[in-house]
């Protein structure tokens, strides 16, 4: 009697667990269907750059629904032009006039942008741009050695679902 009850309870538990996993994976896949690697990359792609492969996968944390995307782009434009393009498109001005009647200054967007140059006294130019927002984090590593003919743009993008 006890063994049968235990077996029934185990089966009920397993059926419940399988149902929960199916429902969870279905909801994650529906959310992921709305996110396209190429559409997401298009927002960050440098004009006329060459596409050198990309990946899109689970964010890597089983307790947090998320996606991570990576790509490498190349261009013959110098590093300085690439960095200037991104800093201008990110509008790094600290504040803009708000639409409020008291005309207070407010941040342009709810985000944090970090721009770092690690090129001084090195045979390679390396610039890192990190953009953190509420549900996304994007990193651009822009690099070119003195002997290379192309600037590399390594793009990493994290999306919390």
CB 145 within 8 A of CB 123: yes
Residue 28 is predicted with a pLDDT of 41
Residue 34 is predicted with a pLDDT of 81
Q: Is 58 left (phi over 0), alpha (psi -120 to 50) or beta?
A: beta
CB 139 within 8 A of CB 132: no
Question: Is pTM, for the whole model, over 0.85?
Answer: no
For the chain, the farthest-separated pair of C-alpha atoms sits apart, in whole angstroms, at 79
117-131 burial: b if 16+ Cβ within 10 Å, else e: eeeeeeeebbbebeb
Q: How far apart are CA 7 and CA 4, in angstroms?
A: 5
Per-block mean pLDDT, blocks of 10 residues, the chain (161 long): 42 36 36 78 95 94 94 98 94 56 50 94 97 94 97 97 92
Q: How far apart are CA 143 and CA 128, in angstroms?
A: 9
Q: How far apart are CA 81 and CA 16, in angstroms?
A: 57
């Amino acid at each position: 009697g006890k063994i049968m009850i235990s077996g029934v309870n185990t089966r009920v538990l397993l059926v419940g667990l399988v149902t929960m996993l199916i429902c969870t994976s279905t909801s994650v896949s529906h959310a992921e269907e709305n996110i396209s690697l190429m559409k997401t990359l298009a927002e960050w792609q440098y004009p006329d750059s060459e596409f050198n492969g990309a990946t899109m996968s689970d964010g890597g944390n089983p307790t947090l629904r998320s996606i991570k995307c990576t790509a490498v782009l190349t261009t013959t434009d110098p590093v300085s032009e690439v960095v200037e393009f991104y800093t201008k498109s990110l509008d790094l001005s600290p504040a803009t006039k708000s639409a409020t009647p008291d005309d207070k200054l407010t941040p342009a967007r709810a985000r944090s942008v970090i721009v770092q140059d690690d090129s001084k006294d090195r045979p390679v130019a390396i610039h890192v741009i990190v953009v953190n927002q509420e549900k996304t984090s994007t990193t651009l590593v822009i690099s070119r050695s003195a002997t290379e003919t192309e600037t590399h743009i390594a793009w990493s993008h994290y999306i919390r679902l």
